Structure 1
Amino acid sequence: MPAVARISACVAIAAVAVWASGSVAWAGWKPGSGKSGSETQVHGGEHSQKISATAGAVVFDRSKNGSGESAGPVASATTWTPPACYYAPKYSPAELKAYLEPIWEAGSTGYEWEAQQRDRYVNGHPYKDFNKDKAGKGYWWDSYVTAGREGDPGALDCDKPIFWVDKGDPPPADTPQAVTPEILAELAYNEIRVPSTKVTLAPAGTTKVNLPTWAWLDGAQFKPVSVTASVPVLGISATTTAEPISLKIDPGTSDAETYPASGVCPIDGGRIGEPYAKGKANETPPCGVKYLRSSGNGSYQLRATLTWKIHWTGTGTPGGDLPEGTFGASQDVVVQEIQSVNR
């Protein structure tokens, strides 16, 4: 393996930094702890989803995100995915020294690699003594792997060895994955959670062949949700917001008709479908399904999938749109034949 690749592979599992020089402390980090850049550390409670959390230099504010056991991540409606890796600040000069020197002293990486590292970060080619003379004037940047993308081949694209960036300066031009408001927006997209799309049906649980079945969602649960991602030491942030726009009904069988015929129920005044009420038995539901054949001794798997429009705003930019996301849930529907009585 080339030296640079070995450097990157070793550093990719670097600890999450405590930014003493930047006056920002990340909880739980210790030099050489082995925590990866993708590992999330939570402030204020390990299991709450309604709090801020850090993943390396990036802080996520999930206070306006969806929550609850049934909530889940949206999947892009296209082949687009958030970046698998990115570069961001990770070490002060003292922290980089505390991280690398124990590795060198262990000798496990080999003399040649150790010599190259010392030459790069200590002997002035190009950095001297870990840039201690610049303490408080910049940061050592390194790669991070996006949460959930650890096994993605794209996570290996950020193979540049640890590099220095002075405060106020842009990162090197050969680091297109360097964190920006847009990349923060994409990372926030990865953290969005939306409510379950299990619909309410009338009749509930069991319906009849050729009987229109009304379907709707509790509109109060389906409000816009958002996540803000920021890098405090750089003073940049981005907020990604998801808004529901339509619900698609898949009856789980071709022996069915949907209302409307497309199976796509639009959001109308914040309402998704319409609750059934007494006296509407002869009306066509604005959102629903009619089964044409009994489910026999089993049931059909009706699937309801909500589409979310996603957009973002960020520091110094109005932002823009990101690919729409979808999230769905399945539920059993028993369909019985209408029993006739001979007199």
Structure 2
Amino acid sequence: MPKPDYQAGVGQPVEGQGGHWYQKFCSFGDYQTLADFQRALGGLDAMDVRQTDMLQRAGLEVRFFTTTPPVPRRTPEQAMLEIYGQIDFPKTFLAVNPAAAKQVVGLPTWVWLTNENGQFDPKRYAVQTKEIGTTEGYQLKWQIVPMLTLSPETGDPQKCAEAGVPWSESDADNPDACTVTYNKAGKYTLTADVNWTVRWWLAGEAQDPIPGPTNTATQEVIVGEIQTVTR
């Protein structure tokens, strides 16, 4: 990459006079870009032996070229990571039944995901696949896969398939419904986490998945008890 701020030493060419200075960087480990690497390097003491090892692995080198040097071809992983950075992972919104302030001990609380307008939108949280075609000579395809986890603040988290099912009397026995049940009255924070995973293929061969973001929505719920009268 160009390095116009390089301070030339005695006898070295001057930037812009017959050519330009460039810096080479070899990505490795968690450092896919020079900026990532420099941030990590900035947190180490100059005498730290890890700094020397990192510099060697990064292959940092500054050279003067009279013509623009060829850009090395990126790896498939690097090409996919750039595509990953352009994927729009939907924000999470949720709805509940019974109403948030009218939850009842022992009665399942139905939870489903909505769009920003409160409308059930299952396609928003469905598996999505896209054929990239050929990028830098690589045949790529990606797929984003969601996993919904409900945390009621009491009891164990509950994993659900995609967006759940909106409450309706006709769907009361739907096995795909996503529910939690409160066993004690009180005020709780119900959390819905949608964790996205990016699966991808190179020339039809599956590669190691890339962990995606976890988008979260919360809802305060008030759980009461139904009083019964016995004689």
TM-score by length of 2: 0.62
Deviation per CA, 1:199-237, whole angstroms, max 9, x where unpaired?
2211131211111111122312124277x8x99xxx567
Separation in 1 of the partners of 2:86 and 2:41? 20
Identical amino acids, percent of aligned pairs: 24
Please tell me whether residue 320 in structure 1 is matched to residue 220 in structure 2.
no
1:210 matched to 2:113? no
* Superposed displacement of residue 244, structure 1: 2.5
Residue matched to 2:19: 130
Alignment partner, residue 75 of structure 2: 180
* Structure 1 spans left out of the alignment, 5+ residues: 1-89, 105-112, 123-127, 132-138, 172-178
CA 1:129–1:282: 2 relative to 1, 3 Å: closer
Q: Deviations over 1:267-325 (max 9, x none)?
A: 4xxxx211111255577773111111111xxx3121212232312356x7856232333
Judge conservation of contact 1:189–1:240 (CA < 8 Å) in 2: no
| Residue number in structure 2 paired with 1:63 | none
Residues 1:160 and 2:60 aligned together: yes
Q: Using the alignment, how far apart are the partners of 1:243 and 1:282 within structure 2?
A: 29
Superposition RMSD on alpha carbons, in Å?
Answer: 4.3
Q: 1:283 to 1:309 in 2, by over 3 A?
A: closer
Q: Aligned-pair distance for 1:330? A: 2.5
Structure 2 spans left out of the alignment, 5+ residues: 26-33, 44-50, 114-120
- Cα shift readout 1:239-269 (whole Å, capped 9, x = no counterpart): 6745234211111113xx7xxxx711124xx
| Partner residue in 1 for 2:165 | 274
Q: TM-score, normalised by structure 1?
A: 0.44
1:291 partner SS? coil
Q: 1:318 to 1:282 in 2, by over 3 A?
A: closer
Q: CA deviation at 1:196?
A: 2.3
In 2, Cα distance between equivalents of 1:185 and 1:154: 27
One-letter amino acid of the structure 1 residue matched with residue 184 of structure 2: R
Q: Secondary structure at the match of 1:321?
A: coil
Q: Which amino acid aligns with 1:184?
A: A
* Structure 2 residue matching 1:304: 3-state secondary structure: strand
Match of 2:144 among 237, 243, 265: 243
Question: Does structure 2 retain, via aligned residues, the 8 Å contact 1:184–1:238?
Answer: no
Task: Say whether residues 1:222 and 2:118 are aligned partners.
Answer: no
Residue correspondence of structure 1 range 1-343 to structure 2 within 5 A: 90-91=1-2, 99-100=4-5, 104=7, 114-115=9-10, 118-119=11-12, 121=13, 129-130=18-19, 140-143=22-25, 144-146=34-36, 151-153=39-41, 157=54, 158=58, 160-163=60-63, 166-167=69-70, 170=72, 179-206=74-101, 207-217=103-113, 218-223=121-126, 224=128, 235=136, 241-254=142-155, 263-267=158-162, 272-280=163-171, 286-295=177-186, 299-313=187-201, 320-327=207-214, 328-340=216-228
* Alignment coverage as a number of residue pairs: 195
CA deviations on 1:103-148 (whole Å, 9 max, x unpaired) are 64xxxxxxxx622xx53x56xxxxx9537xxxxxxx94545325xx
SS at match of 1:199: strand
